[in-house]
Structure 1
């Protein structure tokens, strides 16, 4: 887990043409997307289409990702971040110290790592995408990290975020960020947003985990 300092990020929505700033508190984010090895250790399953311990886990839904966060928290003696209801919805207990998905604002703030351009480095140096992936996913950590030590924030696999994309237009669809190994260069940018149903499983979507820092008394 990497310490991400506090800061402010500006988010935007293309449909509504809305732009809004978000203050982000300090938190922790995993240096790498969750790997197939870690997922198998915690959940006991290997759902991915491609196989390899150090490949990012993929073909996991948003629902799978939040269940993983709770299972990992319980394994490490932490308070699970999510409560699940009979209708399959999840509620985030913001006081919990366990693992969770990053919010959209946290993800973009961590991705940018203090930069203001579309990417935190030259695309071919920091990301696996259609132009250099040779049509396949790659082991985590094979490209340069950003200034805060986070690898594969862009490219390789899309990252599920906690947030609902646009409840008015798309209901329960959740946010995806970062671009993947099959995407063109324009999708692998810090500001690009994608949406999907929380039950979607596809071979270019994975996730990375975050943790809140304890509040000071």
Structure 2
């Protein structure tokens, strides 16, 4: 099996912005590990046991990967290495066992903290040096590691492909939609920023959407690294003024 290379990320803090509720919150993070690269086509093909034409480009990020498939990849990687699976399934519902030591998707707070690597600006370096974007004129994802890394040694957190996170996008408006971050090869610079949020249904897949894995278990239940089930329930409630044109989930 193609090894998954991880970087150790130190404890720290990151500020997240909830634009709809006009709230900012600081999340304190415990140390964790995260993939140096997005998961590649070769890794998905090998671990999920699927013969695929995608492996003609083994070092390109895996794309056309739904959130649900990314979660299943994490469990398969954990099983391969004899680790505790981070996720269990009941139909389409997924539960994160936060104390598990296996592979998982990063939380949104972990992802942004890891992407920024200490930077307080939109990019951790000049965008042409660190990210594949529409300015490069490419029509597909490029091999991972082709641009400069950030100060944590992570490649392609900006540009190349968007990356799934664990968190819900906005349950009050989008229900079970999950967050993806980072921008892709076809996006313009305004969209390729450390703070940009987008999302999609758990079964959705796209040609510029992939993922990277994380590891780290925590002594908590239904809460870890900036995410909690209680916060999801709170965000699902619509209170106070809403942005112009905003409508809640019906």
Q: What is the TM-score when the length of structure 2 is the normalising length?
A: 0.82
User: Shift of residue 45 of structure 1?
Assistant: 2.2
Indicate the SS of the match to 1:77: coil
User: Shift of residue 168 of structure 1?
Assistant: 1.1
* Contact preservation (8 Å) 2:162, 2:184: yes
More moved, 204-213 vs 16-25: 16-25
Count of paired positions: 214
Structure 2 unaligned spans of 5+: 1-5, 220-250
CA distance in 1, matches of 2:79, 2:41: 19
Match for 2:43 among 38, 44, 50? 38
User: Shift of residue 19 of structure 1?
Assistant: 1.1
Q: Does 1:123 align with 2:133?
A: no
User: Shift of residue 49 of structure 1?
Assistant: 6.6
Structure 1 unaligned spans of 5+: none
Following superposition of structure 1 onto structure 2, how do residues 127-142 of structure 1 map, counting pairs within 5 Å? Answer: 127-142=131-146
User: Shift of residue 191 of structure 1?
Assistant: 0.4
Give the structure with higher Rg (CA): 2
Which residue is equivalent to 1:65? 70
CA distance in 2, matches of 1:66, 1:152: 20
Q: What is the TM-score when the length of structure 1 is the normalising length?
A: 0.95
CA distance in 1, matches of 2:80, 2:50: 16
Cα RMSD of the aligned pairs, angstroms, is: 1.5
CA distance in 2, matches of 1:171, 1:130: 30
CA distance in 1, matches of 2:173, 2:16: 18
Deviating beyond 3 angstroms after TM superposition, the runs of 4 or more aligned structure 1 residues are 46-51
